[in-house]
Chains A and B, each alone.
Chain A
Amino acid sequence: MGEWLHLAFVQNAFAAAVLAGVLCGIVGTYVVANRMGYMAGGIAHAAYGGVGLAFFMKIPPMVGILGFTGVAAMVMGVLSLRERHRADTVISVLWAFGMALGVLLVDLTPGYGADLMSYLFGSILTVSRASLAAMAALTASVLIFTALFHKELLAVSYDEHFARVRGLPVTTFYLTLIAIIALTVVVLVQVVGLILVIAFLTIAPYIAEKSSRSLQSMMFRSVFYNIVFGAVGLGFSLALNVTSGAAIICVAAAGYFASVAMSAVRQRMQNG
């Protein structure tokens, strides 16, 4: 497959996998540390409502997805802050509603056979330079933001009540985090698909969490795992001519199962 690497679209795909890996490694660390995996899933699926909206209203897909996902994410954020124990209900409703609305609006749009699969699993092999630029810009902004507010984000993630007593603007930080998750989802849905976004956001950080001593080292590890999963998955996809998003998820899932098995073995060795 050496000669493929000279093709522009293959280079773009690998660049997208690396950028997505970096972005999701950082944002995903917050998602997992905050136990917000379910909310990230809800945001990603609700994004499909934005796809339908964009087709129906004949506006650029990016605008539709951004608007709809942003509103859905803020509603989830505000309601889950107000009633923590009912957060899963709110998220479930918006999750299903977003998907259903998307399907209905695509049905109602004449002449459009919108490709559901490409939004679910993405089409990393057709990533445009513009999408890459958007991903790079978002990755840079997220890096700067998390570097500036690292200690506050850590405190808010670990212990919201203590952070509030210390006088930190917890609600603002929490909603900003949700907005970052929403932006990440929006930028990545077109590239890697909404199912792969959740996989990228959660699998590597889950593996990294166990062996890390700080949030930073968890981020570094997550980024590393994500890039490995992305590159290996993409390689399989090109070599076997199978859907790239699905191949990447399978590699990531295999990595997850391997890490679970390894820690079980290690535990048994310690006990025995």
Chain B
Amino acid sequence: MSVRFQGEVARLQHVSYAYNSHTVLENVDLTISAGDFAAVIGPNGGGKTTLLKLLLGLLKPRSGTVTLFGQAPAKAAHRVGYVPQDVHINRFFPLTVLELALMGRLGPGRLLRRYSAKDLTAAEAALDRMEMLAYRKARLDELSGGQRQRVFIARALASEPEALFLDEPAAGVDSVGQKDLYSHLKELNDRMTILVVTHDLLVLSTYVKSVVCVNRSLVHHPSPEVTENMLRLGYQCPVELLGHGHLPHRVLPLHGGKDRG
């Protein structure tokens, strides 16, 4: 394990966010230290994606401050490799795997410049790292869900980022593909900080170092052990967690009187 990680990658202080009048995050604090491998869990609509977008400057908080590498997110976002949610992307867009990976080499200072040999090398190295170089000429809709996600990660890696933020990278990926995906991430964590939004608690104990539970409020657990509080905040019904053992599906009672309808 590398020890050259220092300082913090991202920080939220007293951050609130609302879509129109619907509050998604309320007065949350979070610090992601360099070298962390953090899983963001919580129910749908609980604010997981919002949290990621706030950190990347794609959304502006209603109140509170967000910093990324100590700077305003919009200024530092290019230092993060971003893997957005697959579902919003046009699956049939005419685009090859290599062209997609090359997008990771784009940047504000590179307008009016063609991709250089260095860009091509970096994109191919990233694809190779994710074991997708053989598919460089394939169209995106010719790949399986797991392969597509690996290409999206390669695109993020092509920019040679210091951190990787992923939004549900395992959605639509079969269980073998998921294991494969997470072991790739675990390897990458030797070199970079990773923040992954996930639905799947499989990742918890096996791969990650800390867990961020988001459901309007936020609790950051420094170790990946599942606690009762985590279940209470993150999940009203930890189906998937229990599903991976041999236990039947159980609905745990709510703790506390807070409304979470």
Determine whether A215 belongs to the interface, using a CB cutoff of 8 Å to chain B: yes
Determine whether B3 belongs to the interface, using a CB cutoff of 8 Å to chain A: no
Q: Is the CB of B92 within 8 A of A166?
A: no
Q: How large is the interface on A (under 10, 10 to 19, 20 to 34, 35 or more residues)?
A: 20 to 34
Q: Contacts A35-B90, A151-B106, A155-B106: A166 and B95 contacting too (C-beta < 8 A)?
A: no
Question: Which residues of chain B have C-beta atoms less than 8 A from A213's C-beta?
Answer: 94-96, 137, 139
Among A159, A167, A214, contact of B89 (Cβ-Cβ < 8 Å): A159
Q: Is the CB of B82 within 8 A of A214?
A: no
Question: Which residues of chain A have C-beta atoms less than 8 A from B219's C-beta?
Answer: none
Question: Which residues of chain B have C-beta atoms less than 8 A from A155's C-beta?
Answer: 103, 106
CB of A166, distance to nearest CB on chain B (Å) = 5
Q: Which of B73-110 contact A (CB under 8 A)?
A: 77-78, 80, 82, 84, 89-90, 92-96, 99-100, 102-104, 106-108
Question: Which residues of chain A have C-beta atoms less than 8 A from B143's C-beta?
Answer: none
Q: Which of B117-152 contact A (CB under 8 A)?
A: 137, 139
Among A148, A161, A168, contact of B58 (Cβ-Cβ < 8 Å): A161
Q: Is the CB of B95 within 8 A of A214?
A: yes
Please measure, in the bound complex, the distance between the C-alpha atom of A164 and the C-alpha atom of B84, giving whole angstroms: 12
Q: Which of A204-262 contact B (CB under 8 A)?
A: 209-210, 212-215, 217-218
Q: Is the CB of B111 within 8 A of A215?
A: no
Q: Is the CB of B56 within 8 A of A218?
A: no
Among B92, B106, B115, contact of A163 (Cβ-Cβ < 8 Å): B106
Among B57, B94, B103, B108, contact of A162 (Cβ-Cβ < 8 Å): B103
Q: Is the CB of A217 within 8 A of B94?
A: yes
Chain B minimum-CB-distance residue to A157: B93
Interface string of A136-175 (1 = CB under 8 A from B): 0000000000001101101101110111111111000000
Q: Contacts A162-B82, A168-B108: A210 and B103 contacting too (C-beta < 8 A)?
A: no
Q: Is the CB of A166 within 8 A of B107?
A: yes
Secondary structure call for the A interface:
helix
CB of B103, distance to nearest CB on chain A (Å) = 5
Q: Which of B20-48 contact A (CB under 8 A)?
A: none
Q: Which of A14-53 contact B (CB under 8 A)?
A: 33, 35
Secondary structure call for the B interface:
loop
Among B99, B104, B111, contact of A152 (Cβ-Cβ < 8 Å): B111
Determine whether B50 belongs to the interface, using a CB cutoff of 8 Å to chain A: no
Please measure, in the bound complex, the distance between the C-alpha atom of A166 and the C-alpha atom of B155, giving whole angstroms: 11
Please measure, in the bound complex, the distance between the C-alpha atom of A87 and the C-alpha atom of B115, giving whole angstroms: 34
Determine whether B112 belongs to the interface, using a CB cutoff of 8 Å to chain A: yes
Please measure, in the bound complex, the distance between the C-alpha atom of A167 and the C-alpha atom of B159, giving whole angstroms: 12
CB of A217, distance to nearest CB on chain B (Å) = 7
Please measure, in the bound complex, the distance between the C-alpha atom of A165 and the C-alpha atom of B59, giving whole angstroms: 11
Please measure, in the bound complex, the distance between the C-alpha atom of A213 and the C-alpha atom of B137, giving whole angstroms: 9
Question: Which residues of chain B have C-beta atoms less than 8 A from A158's C-beta?
Answer: 89-90, 93, 95, 100, 103
Q: Is the CB of B159 within 8 A of A33?
A: no
Please measure, in the bound complex, the distance between the C-alpha atom of A162 and the C-alpha atom of B93, giving whole angstroms: 15
Please measure, in the bound complex, the distance between the C-alpha atom of A163 and the C-alpha atom of B159, giving whole angstroms: 12
CB of B158, distance to nearest CB on chain A (Å) = 10
Q: Contacts A151-B102, A152-B106, A155-B106: A165 and B82 contacting too (C-beta < 8 A)?
A: yes
Q: Contacts A212-B94, A214-B94: A154 and B103 contacting too (C-beta < 8 A)?
A: yes
Please measure, in the bound complex, the distance between the C-alpha atom of A160 and the C-alpha atom of B200, giving whole angstroms: 26
Question: Which residues of chain B have C-beta atoms less than 8 A from A149's C-beta?
Answer: 111-112
Q: Contacts A151-B102, A155-B103, A166-B159: A161 and B84 contacting too (C-beta < 8 A)?
A: yes
Q: Contacts A167-B77, A215-B95: A33 and B90 contacting too (C-beta < 8 A)?
A: yes
Please measure, in the bound complex, the distance between the C-alpha atom of A265 and the C-alpha atom of B94, giving whole angstroms: 22
Please measure, in the bound complex, the distance between the C-alpha atom of A209 and the C-alpha atom of B80, giving whole angstroms: 32
Chain B minimum-CB-distance residue to A215: B94
Chain B minimum-CB-distance residue to A217: B94
Among B84, B108, B111, B112, contact of A159 (Cβ-Cβ < 8 Å): B84
Please measure, in the bound complex, the distance between the C-alpha atom of A168 and the C-alpha atom of B93, giving whole angstroms: 20
Question: Which residues of chain A have C-beta atoms less than 8 A from B56's C-beta?
Answer: 165
Q: Contacts A151-B102, A151-B115: A209 and B94 contacting too (C-beta < 8 A)?
A: yes
Q: Contacts A151-B106, A151-B115, A159-B103: A166 and B94 contacting too (C-beta < 8 A)?
A: no
CB of B80, distance to nearest CB on chain A (Å) = 7
Question: Which residues of chain A have C-beta atoms less than 8 A from B100's C-beta?
Answer: 158
Q: A163-B106, A166-B108 are in contact. List 6 more A-B contacts (CB 8 A).
A: A159-B89, A165-B58, A165-B80, A166-B103, A167-B107, A213-B95
Instruction: Please name 16 pairs of A and B residues whose Cβ atoms are closer than 8 Å in the assembled complex, sorted by A.
Output: A158-B100, A159-B84, A161-B58, A162-B84, A164-B58, A165-B56, A165-B58, A165-B78, A212-B94, A213-B95, A213-B139, A214-B95, A214-B99, A215-B94, A215-B95, A218-B94
Residues of B within 8 A of A (CB): 53, 56-58, 77-78, 80, 82, 84, 89-90, 92-96, 99-100, 102-104, 106-108, 111-112, 115, 137, 139, 155, 159
